[in-house]
A and B are shown apart, each in its own frame.
Chain A
Amino acid sequence: MTAAVQETQASDWLDSTAQTELLRLTTAGSVDDGKSTLIGRLLYDSKGVYEDQLASVRKATRNLTTGGLDLSLLTDGLRAEREQGITIDVAYRYFATPKRKFIIADTPGHEQYTRNMATGASTANLAVILIDARYGVLPQSRRHAYIATLLGIPHLTVTVNKMDLVDYREEVFTAIRDEFTAFAQQLKPRDLCFIPISALKGDNVVEHSARMPWYYGPTLLEHLETVPIAEDRNFSEMRFPVQYVIRPNLDFRGFAGQMASGVLRRGDAVTVLPSGRTSRVKSIVTWDGELEEAFPPMSVTVCLEDEIDISRGDMLVPAADGPHVGRRFEATVVWMNQKPLEAHRPYLLKQTTQLVQARAREIRHRVDINTLGHQRASELQLNEIGVVSIEAQRPIFFDAYTRNRTTGGFILIDPISNETLGAGMIVGPDTWRPSGPVTPAERLARIGHRPYLVRLAHADAEMARLIERHLFDQGYLVHVIEEPEHLAQAIRTAFSAGMVALLFGAAAEDPATLRAGLPSEQTVALDRAQFDDDRALLRALVAAMAGGAAGNVPLTDGAGI
């Protein structure tokens, strides 16, 4: 073969593959239903496995004395996992055929690893759900389907695996298909299909199986290569979250970002959120030249006709058909941390390019992921899913997740430990509005602790201010009362406003405090003379207010004082 011929062939290939589309899929299955074997089969049969990687798998297989070539070892990565013999985290795999390039998010299927499944599902176009033909539809199959649809995966592909172990009988496959279809009606997946396979023997994974002549559909790989995904993206509602302002000189000011949805054209009228200012698109700039239009998932830089103050976190939207703008919304939250989600705890919320402080106002219900039933809940534990009312400190710009996976999704971050705690899918604006006068329960919810009257005997004004400062820094709404004229009235006002009222010196002993008529369990009396130092007194005070009898939200255990 001459060099010239070789080069022509390579260029042909380069040109044809330059037009390959990308499909992201997620796989979910239980420990023994052959998920790793299936992925190994896809990689192996599509020749995506490099020869030397295969060689090292052959070595490891011999060590485990399982005999033969264990395809699952192609995908089990980390040492700890190899020792335990299970997959414990999301692993990404890559393979390509002449038609498409694939990214597999391979996630473990156990109950306690909901968080990993949600992670893998968040970017996927398609979910492969594995069912063991011998056992039929199990709770985990339902769970996988639920999480896949919750995370907005448009295409569900149910593979009924281990058909070789049920003699490739059609009725086994049909019964599982019918049962799953009945269940899936609640989930309303956009696209649902079923394929009978044997990952181990290779039936209907890449090659059509001669042992299931009753099946006329595509093999799994054919399905992955042809399922239409282009129309899954939202092209109707333009959203451009501003990520970064590019200003190399006084003549250029561009807003860089990735198209979340819709189409943005040169000359389009746009509104900037949150300012509400309007302008037109002067140009859409890229390194490769200016574009007439941009669509998701392009990363571009937008220049506007008018000089408007725009910064990261702002969003360009159409004049009509904008997103919801608001502080309160309802979302389905998947919780991913040992520390449970609780109402009123401060979190950081990241959505598009915004990072804002936020709190859960209320947990509306928890979802039983096996039955999809609703349960009352005061918190969400690790791997639990629930519908939560969330309040951000400033307005965010959002759409329902079912319409827009970019502007409808968010993560919650712990402001202290910096961990990613959970992920949320916005349902819509929180339309629930309380009516009537503000109740003590609502004050408690907002402030985070009950009102208290604190009487400090043998303390002076300086000391009272010091204690006020310490309590305030720990999140208490606290105030030193210094109105000897109308003491009882001042105490009542502070108390009904939900505050911690501090009295010192003579006022602390004044019988007027009794006339205020406050509940005794919300009154704390401490004598400075009985404590070695201010710190000891503070600890005692915080402990008294955090005590179970008073039942307030313990903001601190006093240890940090």
Chain B
Amino acid sequence: MKPQINHRTLTHLRALEAEGIHIIREVAAEFQKPVMLYSIGKDSSVMVRLAQKAFHPGKIPFPLLHIDTTYKFQEMIEFRDKFCASIGAQLIVHTNTRAIADGANPFRLGTQKCCALLKTRALLDALAEGGFDAAFGGARRDEEKSRAKERVYSFRDSFGQWDPKNQRPELWNLFNSRIDKGESIRVFPLSNWTELDVWHYIYLENIPIVPMYFAKPREMVVRDDQLITLEHDMPLRPGEKTQMVMSRMRSLGCTYCTGAIRSEADTLPKIIEEMIQFRRSERENRVIDHDQEGSMELKKREGYF
């Protein structure tokens, strides 16, 4: 850590870190069976680091849960398995195998329905099967408008649904963890972090992340102004051709729905510099948030993170 602003003042990142650790410990202390959603992305990587710090020198006292749609990038899965083994974390992988067997994919169902089955439904099933009463997510309030009103502790009814009109007031750092059987709480320790904070923290802490965040020449299809990668035999539209594009991912999702950006940024400082210069919201490149006005809010009401 660099010298501090003045004696006994935490920098904004250390203050956010302390807040996140407090939240994670509070959940571990007050819930019967917490779980941490692990999406393999940069936000998850920061959240897991906070959990490691929260219980040091002990291990993270709850499992990590990955909802695998089976359409994730191969590099993500490899990274996941290696990373979880290296920190000694317990990893649960859950897939909506029935929907996959029925042939669920975004081309047949559209992105909304595909997400509903492979992410939202799969998540709700995994939480119910595991009997988890609290689930950490790496969502940040600066990601999207409806997230700006999300509490740190987001109450979900027994159907896993969020009611934005009826949220519990949240004051100071006093969180209300009381729930009835079947109900649960989603917990967002990174609520107050911005995308820049996340990158900055990864840089300062030297946190390992999936190599796809770094630019290199990749085989891509350019479609509707978005760069789409070729994995899982993605069908090409008539007249489409692939090309090698120097590019990287700004956020990681399913292969079909995650666009890459053209970029030369192959180191963390370059990624951060790129972000300061471009200042484009990362979610611009995720197709799912554009499919309907206020679409993230609708997904959340249904139980999506």
Contact = CB atoms under 8 A, between A and B. Distances in A.
The reply to whether chain A is a binding partner of chain B is yes
B47 to A, nearest CB: 14
Interface stretch (A281-289, A358-366, A446-454): A281-289
A298 B56 contact: no
B269 A258 contact: no
A286 B53 contact: yes
A336 B276 CA distance: 41
Nearest to B294: A79
A351 interface: yes
Contacts of B267: 7
A299 B18 contact: yes
A119 B58 CA distance: 34
Contacts of B12: 20-22, 100-101
A77 B146 contact: yes
B164 interface: yes
Interface residues of A, number: 82
A96 interface: yes
Contacts of B14: 298
A17 interface: yes
B297 A94 contact: no
Interface string B134-160: 000000011001101100000000000
Contacts of A418: 176, 178-180
Contacts of B17: 299
A412 B145 CA distance: 30
B148 A92 contact: yes
Contact of B149 (A21, A90, A285, A406): A90
Contact of A410 (B148, B174, B178): B174
A350 B29 CA distance: 14
A13 interface: yes
Nearest to A104: B148
Contact of A287 (B15, B53, B171, B280): B53
Given A94-B141, A243-B22, A351 B174 contact: yes
Contact of A413 (B149, B178, B197): B178
B97 interface: no
B168 interface: yes
A14 interface: yes
A18 B196 CA distance: 11
A423 B21 CA distance: 24
Interface string A35-67: 000000000000100111100000000000000
B173 interface: yes
B148 A77 contact: yes
B19 to A, nearest CB: 7
Contacts of B194: 94, 96
Contacts of A90: 149
Interface residues of B, number: 73
B71 interface: no
Contact of A11 (B26, B168, B174, B269): B269
A517 B292 CA distance: 75
Given A122-B171, A230-B9, A351-B174, A248 B141 contact: no
A118 interface: yes
Nearest to A48: B279
Interface string B1-42: 111111011111111111101100110110000000000000
A241 to B, nearest CB: 10
A21 to B, nearest CB: 5
Contacts of A263: 8
Contacts of A82: 294
Given A118-B171, A299-B54, A423-B169, A18 B18 contact: no
Contacts of A22: 10-12, 15-16
A413 B10 CA distance: 32
Contacts of B11: 18-22
B10 A298 contact: yes
A106 B270 CA distance: 33
Interface string B270-292: 10110010111100100000000
B70 interface: no
A100 B11 CA distance: 9
Given A19-B3, A103-B192, A299-B22, A248 B172 contact: no
Contacts of B19: 297, 299
A9 B204 CA distance: 16
A50 B172 contact: no
Interface string A291-326: 000010111010000000000100000000000000
11 contacts: A10-B269, A10-B270, A18-B204, A90-B149, A91-B148, A96-B194, A123-B173, A235-B8, A287-B53, A295-B8, A351-B174
The 9 A-B pairs at the shortest CB distance, nearest first, are namely A10-B269, A248-B58, A22-B12, A299-B21, A418-B178, A10-B273, A122-B171, A287-B53, A50-B281
Given A6-B270, A91-B148, 18 more contacts: A10-B273, A14-B204, A18-B2, A18-B11, A19-B3, A22-B10, A50-B284, A88-B165, A91-B149, A93-B148, A100-B12, A243-B22, A246-B57, A248-B59, A256-B55, A288-B53, A297-B15, A409-B172
